[in-house]
Amino acid sequence: GDSVTQMEGPVTLSEEAFLTINCTYTATGYPSLFWYVQYPGEGLQLLLKATKADDKGSNKGFEATYRKETTSFHLEKGSVQVSDSAVYFCAGGSTLGRLYFGRGTQLTVWP
């Protein structure tokens, strides 16, 4: 079945470092792709999305590009902040609205 494989953490970075969290997908069609974030003690929030190949989703300085040739949707941020510490989930979406999630990557940013 359709799935996403996400780089496992934890990832620990210093403030202002560059962040990459890898995500690849396996799907029979062309799913929409998402990054969700879960801050400590909070619910799951949509961070960004891309609905077709070559689309770039961006939000709060985070970016991810839907790359069909490599079946990837890697999350990047040029300069992380302490407030970015959270768990990040890559997800794919079917046309029926059902989502399948990666295992999540715990990011900790130190000042």
Partner 1 sequence: SAVISQKPSRDICQRGTSLTIQCQVDSQVTMMFWYRQQPGQSLTLIATANQGSEATYESGFVIDKFPISRPNLTFSTLTVSNMSPEDSSIYLCSVPLAEDTQYFGPGTRLTVL
Interface with partner 1 by CB under 8 A: which residues? 31-32, 34, 36, 42-46, 49, 51, 89, 93-104
By beta-carbon proximity to partner 1, the closer residue of 97 and 111 is 97
Which pair of tokens denotes residue 65? Answer: 């590009």
Residue 93 C-beta: closest distance to partner 1, Å: 4
- Give 17 or 94: the residue with its C-beta nearer to partner 1: 94
Q: Least Å distance between CB 87 and partner 1?
A: 10
